[in-house]
């Protein structure tokens, strides 16, 4: 159902499927529609008692903080969600704070995409709290936001127990040498890290680039 013109009324109809005993929904892709915050609120009503959903894609849907807050309520009892894509929306720090509450009991999440939103340091700090018990996250995309060194430092705290992370995307943010230093401390013992994306962070010096490449000899680092 991606790349259509589904709005919030369409979500009302989709939710009806959730109540069908013969419909065990494991994956839902509504990317590139126009569901907005109201549509997410309707979806959340159907998700609140659903713990079978594994993959949810709501990218490019004009979703803001209020919508994410409602979504979090729907996901709080789902500890089986493996993939969540909320990229290219209008989510800020408050929205991420609410999302973290919905993910705090989920230790099965493998992929989280929040790229191209309006997330800053405070939002990343709250997100880290939601991820701190998740040691299975393999892919995290926070590219094209407003994250600085402080945000990366807080993110590192959330990843300290994770040794499964394979791909971390932090391109096009406001990260400098201090952020790289804090990130390196946490990830240096992660033998699963395959790629680290730091493109477009113009405050990272050549010296810091050399240090991080030396710290991760088996990882492809992109500057």
User: How many domains are contained in the chain?
Assistant: 1
Q: What is the per-residue pLDDT across 19-73, written as a single tens digit (0 to 9) for each?
A: 665 667 789 999 999 999 999 999 998 888 777 889 999 999 999 999 999 999 9
Q: What is the DSSP letter of 3?
A: S
Cβ proximity of 102 and 71 under 8 Å: yes
Structure token pair of residue 47: 């998700």
Q: What is the per-residue pLDDT across 173-218, written as a single tens digit (0 to 9) for each?
A: 999 999 999 999 988 888 899 999 999 999 999 999 999 999 888 8
Q: Does residue 159 lie in a domain region?
A: yes
Which residue matches tokens 């499927």? 17
Query: pTM for the complete prediction?
Result: 0.93
Q: Does residue 45 lie in a domain region?
A: yes
Closest by CA to 200, choosing from 154, 157, 142, 128, is: 142
Q: Does residue 3 lie in a domain region?
A: no
Q: Does residue 1 lie in a domain region?
A: no
- Check whether 148 has a pLDDT greater than 90: yes
Strand 167-169 and strand 27-29: the pairing is unpaired
- Say how far apart CA 184 and CA 211 lie, in whole Å: 9
Q: Does residue 73 lie in a domain region?
A: yes
SS3 112: strand
Question: pLDDT at position 207, please?
Answer: 94
Question: pLDDT at position 21, please?
Answer: 59
Q: Does residue 117 lie in a domain region?
A: yes
Q: What is the per-residue pLDDT across 103-119, written as a single tens digit (0 to 9) for each?
A: 988 888 999 999 999 99
- Say how far apart CA 85 and CA 203 lie, in whole Å: 28
Question: pLDDT at position 191, please?
Answer: 83
Cβ proximity of 162 and 130 under 8 Å: no
Cβ proximity of 103 and 75 under 8 Å: yes
User: Can you give the CATH number for the domain in which 36 is found?
Assistant: 3.80.10.10
- What is the domain extent for residue 155? 8-222
- Check whether 168 has a pLDDT greater than 70: yes
Q: Does residue 93 lie in a domain region?
A: yes
SS3 221: strand
Q: Tell how far CA 31 is from the center of its chain.
A: 15
């Amino acid at each position: 159902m991606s790349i259509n013109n589904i709005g919030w009324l369409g979500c009302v109809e989709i939710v009806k499927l959730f109540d069908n005993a013969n419909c065990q929904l494991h994956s839902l892709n509504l990317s590139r529609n126009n569901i907005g915050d109201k549509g997410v609120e309707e979806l959340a009503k159907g998700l609140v008692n659903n713990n079978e959903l594994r993959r949810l894609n709501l990218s490019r849907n004009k979703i803001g903080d209020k919508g994410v807050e409602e979504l979090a309520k729907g996901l709080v009892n789902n500890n089986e969600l493996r993939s969540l894509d909320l990229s290219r929306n209008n989510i800020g720090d408050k929205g991420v704070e609410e999302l973290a509450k919905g993910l705090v009991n989920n230790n099965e999440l493998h992929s989280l995409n929040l790229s191209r939103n309006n997330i800053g340091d405070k939002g990343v700090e709250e997100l880290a709290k939601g991820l701190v018990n998740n040691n299975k996250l393999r892919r995290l995309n926070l590219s094209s936001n407003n994250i600085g060194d402080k945000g990366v430092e807080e993110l590192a705290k959330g990843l300290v127990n994770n040794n499964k992370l394979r791909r971390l995307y932090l391109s096009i943010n406001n990260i400098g040498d201090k952020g790289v230093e804090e990130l390196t401390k946490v990830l240096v013992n992660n033998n699963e890290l395959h790629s680290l994306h730091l493109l477009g962070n113009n405050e990272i010096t050549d010296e810091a680039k050399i240090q991080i490449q030396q710290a991760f000899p088996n990882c492809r680092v992109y500057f």
